[in-house]
Amino acid sequence: MGKKTFFLRIGILVLSLMITAYSSQALASVTQDKKVEVYNFDNRINSELREAFSGMPVLDYVKDVVAFREAHKVSPTTLPTDDAVLVREETISGYEGIPDLKVRTFQPKTRSGNLPAVLWIHGGGYILGSAEAAEGLILRIVKEGNCVVVAPNYRLAPENTFPAAIDDCYATLKWMADNSKNNLMINTERIAVAGTSAGGGLTAAVALKARDEKGPSICFEMPLYPMLDDRNVTASSYQVTDGRVWNREDNVKAWGMYLGNGNGKKVSPYAAPARATDLSGLPPTFIMIGELDVFRDEVIDYANRLMQAGVPTELHIYPGCFHGFEIFIPQAEISKKAKSEYIGALTKAINR
C-alpha cells in the first residue's frame, strides 16, 4: 500500500470518527432538549392521596435554608416517646480527624444478647432535616425489628459541603461496628444502613465506601426514594415541577449547595452514587420510589444496574405517589402499605 493510499485511509477514518462524535453530541443535545410532559399532579396523584394533597402548601425549601430549618425545627417536647424503647443522645469521634458529632441511639429496654442494628440516615436534600424528625419511624423500627438504631445528626450544606455528610455517616457506621466504643451490644454481622431521600443517597454512598475501604460489614441497605444523581438529566427530573413537593428547582439548587465548588464532571460517587461505575459486591438492597417522584428514573436505573451487577435487589414503585408521600400523608392506605413493606423488609433482613 502506497503512502498516498495509507494517508487517504487514515483521513477517512479520522473523518468518520469526527462525524460519529458530532452525531453523538447532537443526539445528546436532542435528548436533553426533548420536551417531556410536565406532570399535573392534581390529575395524576393517587386517589388515596388526592384530598390531603390538595391542601398541602407550596414549600420553598431552598430560598433561605437557615430560616427553613429554624421554622421546621423539632422541639424536644414534641418528640414521640415509647416506654419500651431507651433513647439517648451521644457524642462520637469523627472520621479521620473530622469534628465529633452527635448521634441518637435507640434500643429495646428489655433485651438479651447482641442485637442487629440499623444506621438510620435522615433526609432533607443534604441541606435540611435532623435525626429527631424521624423519631416516630425509628421507634417503630426498633420495636418491630427488635434492634438497635443509631441516627447521626450529620453536618449539612451549604455550611458543610461534600464530603462532610458522608464522613459523618461513615464515622457512625465504624462506631457502631466497635462494641468496645459504643456499649450498645450490637451484632456486628447484622448491621443495615437505611434512610430516606438524601439519607437514601447517603445510604448508597456509605455502602460503596464500606465496600471500597473494606470497612464494617453491611448485611443490607435500604435507600428509600434516594437522591442519587447530581446531573438532573432524566425525564422525571423535568416532569416534576409542582411546588408542593421536592421538585426539579429544589433539587438542582440543593445539589449545588452540597457539592459547592465540586459541582462538575468529576463528582465523586460518594457524593452522587449514580456516578459509580462498579456496583458489584454491594449488600442486598431494597429500594422504593413513587411514580411522581423527581428521582424516579435515576432510582430505577440504579436498581437495574445493581441487578446487572449481581446484587440481590427489590424495587417497589408506587403509582401516583410523590416524594416522601408516606411521611407527608401517613394516614393514606398506600402510605401505610409502603411503610409496612419497607419496615418488614428491613426487619426480615437484619434478623436472618
Residue among 313, 315, 305, 303 at smallest CA distance from 278: 305
| Other CB atoms within 10 A of residue 171 CB | 22
| Other CB atoms within 10 A of residue 243 CB | 14
Lookup: cell for 270: 460518594
| Other CB atoms within 10 A of residue 96 CB | 9
| Other CB atoms within 10 A of residue 170 CB | 28
Vertex 134 angle, CA 129 and 140, to 5°: 170
Lookup: cell for 290: 413513587
Q: Which residue numbers are catalytic?
A: 197, 293, 323
Strand pairing class (148-152; 115-121): parallel
d(CA 236, CA 122) in angstroms, rounded, equals 23
